[in-house]
Chains A and B, each alone.
Chain A
Amino acid sequence: MKILVPVKRVIDYNVKPRVKADGTGVDLANVKMSMNPFDEIAVEEAIRLKEKGVATEVVAVSIGVAKAQETLRTALAMGADRAILIQTDDEVEPLGVAKLLAKVQEEEGAGLIILGKQAIDDDSNQTGQMLAALLGLAQGTFASKIEVEGDSVSVTREVDGGLETVKLSTPAIITTDLRLNEPRYASLPNIMKAKSKPLATKAPADYGVDITPRLTTLKVAEPPKRSAGVKVADVDELVAKLKAMGVAA
């Protein structure tokens, strides 16, 4: 079984995003970029399934600027077998990404496609569900456990009240939640090896998909700022404050 893992290059999660003064977006100049954390979890899960003998090949796919190659090389260094970059300087929305990925799946015929549940830049939480819809496949979103059993897969999902397990026919779409696994660090020898693994570069036009954005961002602003309040010296003072607020009797 082949596994497809879409990975997105995003602002590193340790960086505090700064809104540009002209209100057109977030300043990404000279900012550290990394693989979306949920996608690292997706890559890790795919590699573990390969190590268990469930999967035979892991293919990483990214849609984005030329530098998204670095993100794909990270996936290859972690253990993916080959990579596909669909290169574009345009911003591609989740619907466009899902349409491109659907075309990739038509060519690849993977048994599982594992995505992150959410990209930490647009915080959309859509692409996996959209891809499942376009392909007419089952979706196991927010996964914290995956078990492949013959031609179905059992997915434990993190939901509002706790956990839920669903059984999906394969091929299926899965999106990862934080507690699915802890991604490995690529070792130096593997980083070196990754340099010679195959990485194909394509263009959106190769897939004949219209990726014109549907949404226009009119403005990006900073959220209302909270200012630091007061420090209290001890518990008695805190109790007094709580009483004054009517929180405690």
Chain B
Amino acid sequence: MKTLVWVEHEGGAVKDATLSAVTAASKLGEVHLLVAGEGVSGVAEAAAKIAGVGKVHVADDSAFGHALAENVAPLIVELMGHHDAFVAPATSNGKNIAPRVAALLDVMQLSDILSVESADTFTRPIYAGNAIATVQSKDAKLVMTVRGTAFEKAASEGGAGAVEAVASTGDKGISSFVSAEIAKLERPELTSAKIIVSGGRALKDSETFEATIFPLADKLGAAVGASRAAVDAGYVPNDYQVGQTGKIVAPEVYVAIGISGAIQHLAGMKDSKTIIAINKDEDAPIFQVADIGLVGDLFKVVPELTEKL
């Protein structure tokens, strides 16, 4: 089977989520990549070095500059004429593009797969991860998105793929990029961090969140996450949200502070290796999944912990 993987890149570098998608794709057979964007020859070279990659298709055109699904999907459909499966990482861009490809190919997408069981059978989470479905596709071609935390990252060095330019399918002229407010990260990225410190509604406001959570995260070299309640209340931006509808994370250590442990939050972090919870309510549901729990007032406990580390 020949599989095409959509390469997500930023600032000239291949994003980690792509490497997990490559691993999933390699379980199906031969792996080809698509690098689409503006001024992406460097990305294509980097992509060709990913271990196990056969061919790298490069489409360099301003129409692909901001990964607009309206422009990228037809390009992928064109390439799917000689591929059997399409794989994208289950990131916000991947989730935006892949279903558009699937519908154009008239196939049902497999969203957020956790494992490849055979050439047509996969597992995926449903009901906020409270159930795992094993599904078999009857479609002639496969389209799927891959959960990054479920697959090891392919090595970014060692491969020797052949880079091949493909013709642009052009700008469909129905959508355009206007602007982006992308936060500059001073800490590790959530989805690839080894340690995450997350805060919930209990953190009161953005000043309190920063003054309480950030120093602990910095002591641990950790990324910072949050519950939906904390994001909705404006303590931190939307891209901090962990959960069913936010980011899915599985770090070595996840520290949940002042988070109750609603199923939608657990859906995003319960595959973490070690979960530590700090909550003043000893009956908070988060303690049912925590490996280490500390019952106490976070405003006393967290500064003390930061101090003693």
Chain A residues with a Cβ under 8 A of chain B: 11, 13, 16-17, 19, 25-26, 93-95, 98, 117-118, 120-134, 136-139, 141-142, 144, 154, 157-169, 177-179, 213-223, 226, 228-232, 234-236, 238-239, 241-242, 245, 247-248
Residue of chain B at shortest CB distance from A131? B103
The reply to whether B111 and A161 form a contact with Cβ atoms under 8 Å apart is: no
B129-165 with Cβ < 8 A to chain A: 129-139
Among B111, B127, B238, B290, the residue within 8 A (CB) of A125 is: B111
The reply to whether B181 and A162 form a contact with Cβ atoms under 8 Å apart is: yes
Q: Interface size for chain B: under 10, 10 to 19, 20 to 34, or 35 or more residues?
A: 35 or more
Stretch of B23-31, B40-48, B89-97, B203-211 contacting A (4+ beta carbons < 8 Å):
B89-97
Tally A-B pairs: CB < 8 A.
250
Chain B residues with a Cβ under 8 A of chain A: 10, 66, 68-70, 73, 91-93, 95-104, 106-112, 121, 125-139, 173-183, 191, 195, 219-220, 228, 231-232, 237-239, 244-245, 247, 252-253, 263-264, 270, 274-276, 282, 287-296, 301, 304-305, 308-309
**Given A229-B275, A247-B195, 11 more pairs with CB closer than 8 A:** A95-B107, A123-B111, A123-B125, A139-B69, A159-B239, A167-B178, A228-B288, A232-B293, A234-B294, A238-B294, A239-B309
The reply to whether B309 and A126 form a contact with Cβ atoms under 8 Å apart is: no
- In the bound assembly, the distance between CA atoms of A230 and B101 in angstroms comes to 47
The reply to whether B110 and A215 form a contact with Cβ atoms under 8 Å apart is: yes
Say whether, besides A138-B175, A163-B181, A230-B293, A123 and B128 are in contact (CB < 8 Å).
yes
Give 10 pairs: A residue, B residue, CB < 8 Å, sorted on A.
A95-B106, A129-B103, A159-B180, A166-B66, A168-B175, A217-B133, A218-B134, A221-B132, A226-B270, A239-B305
Task: Kindly list chain B residues whose C-beta atoms are within 8 Å of the C-beta of A214.
Answer: 107-108, 137-139
Among A163, A219, A232, A238, the residue within 8 A (CB) of B134 is: A219
Q: Which 6 A-B pairs have the closest CB atoms?
A: A229-B291, A129-B99, A130-B103, A133-B103, A214-B108, A126-B99
The reply to whether A133 and B104 form a contact with Cβ atoms under 8 Å apart is: yes
Among B109, B183, B292, the residue within 8 A (CB) of A126 is: B109
Among B109, B130, B182, B282, the residue within 8 A (CB) of A162 is: B182
Among A178, A220, A229, A245, the residue within 8 A (CB) of B290 is: A229
